[in-house]
Amino acid sequence: MRILIVEDEPKVASFIQRALEEESYAVDVCQDGTQGLAFAQAVHYDLAILDLMLPGLPGLELLKALRAEKIKTPVLILTARSEIDQRVKGLDAGADDYLTKPFSIDELLARVRALLRRASGDPSGILQVEDLVLNPATHEVTRTGQRVDLTIKEYALLEYMMRNTGRVLTRPMISQHVWDLDFDTFTNVIDVYISYLRNKIDRGHDRHLIHTVRGSGYMLTAHR
């Protein structure tokens, strides 16, 4: 899951970024509203966290521009405690949720999970394909009831694939959602991580869930 942070206070931005990266999300940061809009138009983000008071383009204008272009990325706005009317305007302009500063990082992470859950249409949040189960709240992954230990990147890749079960995922799609802007497209890092996941998820099981789609990419499905 790839998240955009648009926040001009470097301390706040890097605090949020670190917390999200520890939770396995891929994160890009913009400190300017105009740049933030360009990023949100260029990359299919799974979520955007948007400060309202921004240089360049105010957060509210950025949000309106996104919605005017039918970009449906869930948006969480950050507001100061005094900005009640801004909060209301933000929600009216298409924000999905808000958080007032200062906020606890645990609350921010919970709201991020809730927004991603809502976007995926599954109220419980638990992802399941056959006997493979992933809990985004705890990061626990099991196959046939056995715990599977994954690194942060392996987990992020598996979560993205499980949220898109049955769809062919091309390497560009995977890199857009699982890696951030520092991703080097000339490496075979995706194929390497797929092989790590196969070792941990499929090895020793009769039914394999991760499939190569020749010439296209990869797919996670039980029906193949």
Which residue in the shown chain puts its C-beta closest to Ca ion? 53
CB of 37 to Ca ion, least distance (A): 15
Nearer to Ca ion, 31 or 128 (CB): 31
Yes or no: say if 23 and 46 are a contact pair by the CB < 8 Å rule.
no
Which residue's entry shows tokens 């493979």?
Answer: 132
CA distance 165 to 149: 21
Nearer to Ca ion, 36 or 136 (CB): 36
Yes or no: say if 100 and 81 are a contact pair by the CB < 8 Å rule.
yes
CA distance 153 to 192: 11
Nearer to Ca ion, 53 or 109 (CB): 53
CB of 86 to Ca ion, least distance (A): 11
- Which positions ≥6 away from 107 have C-beta within 8 Å? 99
CB of 195 to Ca ion, least distance (A): 43
CB of 102 to Ca ion, least distance (A): 13
Nearer to Ca ion, 8 or 131 (CB): 8
CA distance 47 to 149: 26
x/- site string to Ca ion, residues 28 to 67, per CB under 5 A? Answer: -----------------------x-x--------------
Alpha-carbon distances, residue 26 vs 111, 183, 203 (angstroms): 17, 10, 27
CB of 2 to Ca ion, least distance (A): 22
Q: Is residue 12 a contact point for Ca ion (CB under 5 A)?
A: no
Alpha helix stretches (DSSP H) within the chain: 10-22, 33-42, 59-68, 84-92, 105-120, 152-163, 171-178, 189-201
Nearer to Ca ion, 9 or 131 (CB): 9
CB of 54 to Ca ion, least distance (A): 6
Please select the residue that binds Ca ion; options are 8, 131, 140, 202, rule is CB under 5 A: 8
Nearer to Ca ion, 28 or 83 (CB): 83
Both tokens of 1, joined, read 């899951």
Residues in contact with Ca ion by the rule CB under 5 A: 8, 51, 53
